[in-house]
Each structure stands twice: as C-alpha cells, then as structure tokens.
Amino acid sequence: MVATASWLATRGPALLGLAALGWLLAIAPLRLAALLVAVVLGVPLVLAYPPAGLALLVVAVPFGDPVALSLGTLRLGLPSLLALLTLIAWFGQTALTPGGRIAVPPLLPALLPLLAALLLTLPAVRELVPGLRDLLLWLEIAAVYLAASHLLRGPALWLVAAGLLAAASAEALVGWYQFFARAGPPSFAIGPFLRAYGTFGQPNPFAGYLNTALPLAVGLLLGAWQTRATTDRRLLALAALTVALAGPALLMSMSRGAWLGTAAAIAAMLAAAGHIGRRVLVGGIALALLLAVAATLDLLPPAIVGRIADTVAWLGIFDARSVPLTSENYAVVDRMAHWQAAWDMYREHPLLGVGPGQYTVYYPEFRLPLWPDPKIHAHNLYLQTLAETGVVGLLALLVFALATGWHVLCVVGRASGAERGLALGVLGVVAAVGVHSFFDVLFVRGVHTQFALLLGMATALSWREEARCASPSTTRPR
C-alpha cells in the first residue's frame, strides 16, 4: 500500500497531465490538436538540440500549413515559428557555452541593403500589415541563414539534408496522386491531364518547392559519381528516390517556369562539375534538340507539345491590351497584364516604389481594363521588387542574388568528397530559384525558409573547408 501511494505521488501528476492532454487532443479542432502535439513534442526537442528545429522546418514547409499563429491579420506559419524557436534555442546555448561566439556569415552583409531598402520605404505604405509581412519574410531568411550556417555541422548537416529529401519525396507522391486520379479543380486540367499542385493549392508554388529539393538530390548523385566519394549509401538511395519521384512530379505540375528553372539548375551543376559534367551538358543539349524534333514530328503527347510551344510566346514581351483572349493564351496574357501593372507602378514611383507588400494595394490604380482582380503577387519577383521598392530595392536584391551565386560557386570549387555533391545541389537550387523567379514569386508557405537553410548549408560547408586548412586560432566557432 505504501509503495502504491509513493508511486502515485511521484507519477500521478504526470499521468494526470497526459490524461488532460489526451482529452484536449480528442475534443480540440484539428489545427489546435496539431499545434498542441507540435508544442509538446517539438519545443523540448529543439531547446535541447537546436539542429532538430531545422530538421523539423524542412518537413513543416510542405506539411505544416494547418498549424499557424495569427496575430490579427498577420499569420505566422509553422516554418516561421520553428525558425524563431531554433534561433532562440541556438542563441541560448551559445550564450551558455564558455567561449561561444557568433560569426557573421558571408551572405548576411549582402542581405542588409535589401533589409535597409524595405525599412526605408515601410513608413510610407498605405497598408502596414502587408509591408510588415514582406519585411518579416526577409528577416526570417536572414535568421534561418545565420542559424543554419552555425548549426549544420557534422551529423546535423546530413540529418537535415535527408529530412529535406524525404519531405520532398512525400510531397511529390501527393502530386502523383492528384495527377493520375485527376483529384483537383477543373481549372487545373490541360487536355487529358490535371496539373499536380501538392499541398500548396497551386501548381506553380508546388513546382517551385520541388525545385528547392530536386537539384539537391541530383547534386548528391552527381557529386558521388564524379568524385567517387564514400557518401552514405542510404542518403544516396534517398537522393535517387527523390529524383525518381520529384522529377516526374515536376513535369506533372505543367509549370513552365519551373521547367526552365530545372533546366538552369542542371546546366549550372553540370558546368560546375568539371570537364565530365560539361560533356554531359553537351549531351543534354543534344537530347533537348532530339525532343524538339520529336515534337515537330508529333511523337510527343499533344498536351505536352502545346505546353512547350506556348512557352515560346510566354517568354516574349507584348502589350496585354492588344491581344484577343482565348482559353489557350489566357495564362500568358494574365501574367503579362500583371507584369505591366508592376512596370507602371515603377514608372510612377521609380526611386523607392510604392512600398513593400503594396502591389495588391495599388493594383486597382494600375490594372489593365480586362484584369480587375489582382493576383497575390506580380508573377515576377524582380518586377515586383522594382514596383514596391524602386530602383533602390531592385539593386539591393540583385546584389544579394549575385553574392549568393558567387559564394555558392566558390563553395563548390573548394569542397571535396561527399560535401562537393551537396554544394553542387545548393548551386542548382540557387540557379533554379533565380530563373523561376522571372515568372513567379516563389517565397510563399515557408519556401523562403528552406531556401535560406540551403544557403546556410553552403556556408557551413565553406567554413568546414576553411577549418581544415586554418590554424586552431583562426577556425570558425564550432
């Protein structure tokens, strides 16, 4: 009896707590239940081991949408909350570690001019919440990049890479189901096909997300083949699975911007992989020419041929007001109409633009006659930045983009072994996002945090290479 009483005294509160949590999960709405599970399981794990926050983040990007925190009209998704928690945990551990210090990663100074441009134009906005949302997005990019560049060392680097590939593979399977079961809105149908859209609700952001994972998988395989490095076979098997699932899913999205981004990613990786890679690149160009010939001979499905043919017109510049609308050209003209609205905003506000997040706010004043309803963005990151922050903001964005490309390219040149494949993959992601951003704004639903994490991965690799050659007194903080 005494033993039973003692057992209840020590474990009774925990049992009551578990029972109360189970009751809450049973009666709570799905979103609240998911949030409770995430808090109870995730918070202690991330506080004890901050890299776990980054591993959870790459899963939350495609599958964490039901969990969000709303502050008025400002919504923080699960990737944003995980980024904040990871940053707090990392800062706390660094402060408590004797001799712990925080180094400034190389891309952070290149990001500061863009943040300064956003802050400079923020006070003049008509609607504050969209402006704060844009500023918060770039602050999250800076925060995740800073944390990832320090935390992704040793096993943590490969854990996060594996989590990213696994999440992308699972997301691709969702797209496979939608494509073959024709499970989606009729507006996504193109001929006999229905465009895959995954958990993102739209085909283009779904394809944009896949392009932050597929090049990484290709890079790992390419690096292992080129260097004959002893990369973990399980990771290579996961990379091969990601290519097998995400590659076709990207085609199923029918996203022409993503296709161009993928082509740019493959070209960049092959060009940086050495003379063998460049030979493969020449072979790929020859294969593309063969496909073009097959298309002219009607040897490819008509829906695919039509989609590719429309891309030629889609890449051109024209006045959307002078083109008669048809069901075939609607998407192209719609995109051009929003491009023209953004360009007209810039022409009236050339220096500082209309303010961050204000594209949809000002759109009714600059819209074309047949296009009264604004999209959530201008279908072009560079044009939208020009419209919202003027020449100052666009120059700052281009500085960051060029610095990013140069930094990752340098990492590829210095990395060796298995890390070289990882660096090649990040280079491919940078190329894919850079090209696709000419036709869309991809930083939605937490994709920007995954992109920042990949940049942090590249910086962590560069610091690792420096540490191998430097004396102990000049190595980066561990």
The 10 Å Cβ neighbour count of residue 356 is: 26
Assess contact for 138 and 389: CB atoms under 8 A. Answer: no
When pLDDT is cut at 50, 70 and 90, the band that residue 476 belongs to is very low
pLDDT reported for residue 256: 86
User: Which residue, 40, 74, 102, sits at the end of a domain?
Assistant: 102
Q: Residue 398: what residue type? A: L
Domain identity same for 67 and 175: no
> Is 130 within the bounds of a domain?
yes
Domain identity same for 91 and 235: no
Assess contact for 173 and 206: CB atoms under 8 A. Answer: no
Query: Is the C-alpha dihedral spanning 452, 457, 462, 467 positive or negative?
Result: positive
pLDDT reported for residue 70: 66
When pLDDT is cut at 50, 70 and 90, the band that residue 300 belongs to is low
Domain identity same for 22 and 138: no
- The region of weakest confidence among 66-75, 213-222, 393-402, 456-465 is 66-75
pLDDT reported for residue 281: 64
29-68 confidence digits (pLDDT tens): 555 555 566 666 778 888 889 999 999 999 989 987 766 6
Domain identity same for 72 and 154: no
pLDDT reported for residue 21: 46
Q: Residue 399: what residue type? A: V
Among 34-43, 83-92, 164-173, 463-472, top mean pLDDT goes to: 164-173
Closest CA to 387 of 361, 355, 364, 435: 355
Residue 253, pLDDT > 60, answer: yes
> Is 8 within the bounds of a domain?
no
> Is 6 within the bounds of a domain?
no
Structural domain of 347 = 111-474
pLDDT reported for residue 331: 73
Of all residues in the chain, the percent with pLDDT exceeding 70 is 73
> Is 4 within the bounds of a domain?
no
Residue 473, pLDDT > 50, answer: no
Q: Which residue has the tokens 């990040």?
A: 426
Assess contact for 39 and 79: CB atoms under 8 A. Answer: no
When pLDDT is cut at 50, 70 and 90, the band that residue 3 belongs to is low
Domain identity same for 280 and 336: yes
Task: Retrieve residue 227's tokens.
Answer: 């260097």
> Is 168 within the bounds of a domain?
yes
Domain identity same for 186 and 53: no
**pTM, entire model:** 0.85
Domain identity same for 92 and 182: no
pLDDT reported for residue 471: 37
Domain identity same for 424 and 351: yes
Domain identity same for 125 and 255: yes
When pLDDT is cut at 50, 70 and 90, the band that residue 328 belongs to is low
- Separation between Cα atoms, residue 407 and residue 460, nearest integer Å: 12
When pLDDT is cut at 50, 70 and 90, the band that residue 115 belongs to is very high
User: Which residue, 82, 102, 122, sits at the end of a domain?
Assistant: 102
Average pLDDT rounded to a whole number, residues 155-182: 94
CA–CA distance from 386 to each of 123, 140, 254, 376, 443 (Å)? Answer: 17, 21, 28, 16, 16
By residue count, the chain amounts to 478
pLDDT reported for residue 20: 53
Domain identity same for 74 and 124: no
pLDDT reported for residue 369: 79
Domain identity same for 122 and 191: yes
- Report the alpha-carbon angle 466-467-469, nearest 5: 70
Number of domains in the chain: 2
Residue 277, pLDDT > 90, answer: no
User: Which residue, 102, 132, 156, sits at the end of a domain?
Assistant: 102
When pLDDT is cut at 50, 70 and 90, the band that residue 306 belongs to is low
The mean pLDDT of the chain is 82
> Is 438 within the bounds of a domain?
yes
Domain identity same for 22 and 150: no
